[in-house]
Amino acid sequence: MLNVKEVNTFHDFLELEHVWNKVLAKSKDNNIFLTWEYLSIYWKHFGKGKRLRVLCIEDKDDTIAIAPLRQSRYGFSTPLNYEVIEPLGYRGLMSEGGDYTGLILGEKENECLHLILNYLIEHDNWDFIYMYDVPETSIIPDLLPKISKKLSITHETKKGVICPFISIPSSMDIFLKELNSKFRKNLRRCMKNLEKDYQRVELKRYDEFGSVEEAMKIYFELHQKRWKLKHMPGVFSTQEVRDFYRDVAKLFAENGWLALYFLTANDESIAVQYCFEYEQKTYYALSGFDPDYSRYSIGNLIMAKVIEECIARKIKEYDLLKGSEQYKFYWTSKYRRNLNIKFVNKRITSNLYNQGMKALKQAQVDKILGRLGMFS
């Protein structure tokens, strides 16, 4: 018989280390942002003010599913506060947190998802359950309709942000032929110019810099250079965010998951990509470059070099993660979508909150359309 165990303390969460990734390895939704390592570091740095609510589904003595959740309070003033259960590592509009969320269903997926939702319904000290940034390839959207109907709880699923990705071919020649001819020619011209002006142009991994700490220091400096020129803070303007990225890098390096690459010219680092490598997949998290070398289009050059490295390492996919930035589509036309799933508690107050938020959102849309003269 299956039962639910709820974990609310960080100490107990840490105790799940030896079980967590074994369950994740069996899950169809296995990705780097659902690993114990990533989520434990996230919670260590950004869990303040939130309540840990990790649900473990146990089958006798074995854990077969895990729901990495947290409970957060939102609102403008005390009477208008509302409680939300959401993915533990959900980042929203912040620069930290995972690009993908979900539930870890290792076995008996249908039964476990039913049990998780039923448990939350019975312990209903929440107004909303938000499951944002669930990959559309997840098993969850397929299971939800029947389970929701059985539990008499309605859910709303909407399409979210797109996540471009590159299917890695067997050779660089094949990959380059798939690119736009004008872009391909420009890429070759920039590389030729860089190699003409500098004797040694190389792609180096973090471990060629002596330590993760030293490599991350160079990474932070490169990333911030461009933002300083624009008189903007940049992602790493606070110690808190730098510490988070550094801790992730250190632990991932121990596991062989860190793919931190530098493009160097005569041994000087001029561009960087902070990536993760997990289950034959590379996740592109964040980059940086020295604006003094922008005439060489070094952001594109390091991308090409990293893709070449992915081919050599027999990586199957290079995931560009959340966002529809134009530069991503120079490299690929493929993308997936994240899904946003919402449950509303049956309580009257929860439904009033929901109606109020919808009205506020519509008013904001109407205001924007009014400014654009799209209706009078």
* pLDDT above 90 (res 315): yes
Q: For the segment 256-269, what is each residue's pLDDT rounded down to a tens digit?
A: 999 999 999 999 99
- Which pLDDT belongs to residue 159? 95
Residue whose pair of structure tokens reads 């991308």 in the numeric block: 303
- Which pLDDT belongs to residue 201? 97
- Which pLDDT belongs to residue 363? 62
Least confident of 72-86, 189-203, 229-243, 317-331: 72-86
- Kindly give the interhelix angle for 239-255 and 212-229, rounded to the nearest 10 degrees: 140
- Kindly give the interhelix angle for 181-197 and 298-312, rounded to the nearest 10 degrees: 100
In whole angstroms, give the CA distance from residue 98 to residue 178: 30
Please indicate whether the domains covering 2-163+337-345 and 169-315 agree at the CATH topology level: yes
Domain definitions of the chain by residue range: 2-163+337-345, 169-315
Strands 317-319 and 281-289, by their bridges, are parallel
Architecture of the CATH domain 2-163+337-345:
3-Layer(aba) Sandwich (3.40)
For 175, other C-beta atoms within 10 Å of its C-beta total: 20
pLDDT band, very low/low/confident/very high, at 367 (cuts 50, 70, 90) = low
pLDDT band, very low/low/confident/very high, at 52 (cuts 50, 70, 90) = very high
As a whole number, mean pLDDT of residues 303-326 equals 97
pLDDT band, very low/low/confident/very high, at 371 (cuts 50, 70, 90) = low
- Which pLDDT belongs to residue 354? 82
Give the distance from CA 258 to its chain's centroid: 15
- Which pLDDT belongs to residue 226? 84
As a whole number, mean pLDDT of residues 174-189 equals 96
- Which pLDDT belongs to residue 373? 54
Q: Which residue has the higher pLDDT, 337 or 235?
A: 337
- Which pLDDT belongs to residue 370? 54
CB 41 within 8 Å of CB 248: yes
Residue whose pair of structure tokens reads 């359309």 in the numeric block: 369
Residue % of the chain over a pLDDT of 70: 93
Beta strands in the chain (DSSP E): 2-7, 51-59, 62-74, 82-87, 104-105, 128-135, 155-167, 201-205, 258-265, 268-278, 281-289, 317-319, 335-344
Q: For the segment 94-139, what is each residue's pLDDT rounded down to a tens digit?
A: 656 789 999 999 999 999 999 999 999 999 899 999 999 999 999 9
* pLDDT above 80 (res 222): yes
- Which pLDDT belongs to residue 369? 45
Name the token pair of 125: 């000290």
Task: Write down the CATH number for the domain with range 169-315.
Answer: 3.40.630.30
pLDDT band, very low/low/confident/very high, at 365 (cuts 50, 70, 90) = low
- Overall residue count recorded for the chain in this entry: 376
How many helices (H) and strands (E) in the chain? 11, 13
* pLDDT above 60 (res 35): yes
For 291, other C-beta atoms within 10 Å of its C-beta total: 15
Q: For the segment 276-295, what is each residue's pLDDT rounded down to a tens digit?
A: 999 999 999 999 999 999 99
Average pLDDT, rounded, for the chain: 92
CB 52 within 8 Å of CB 66: no
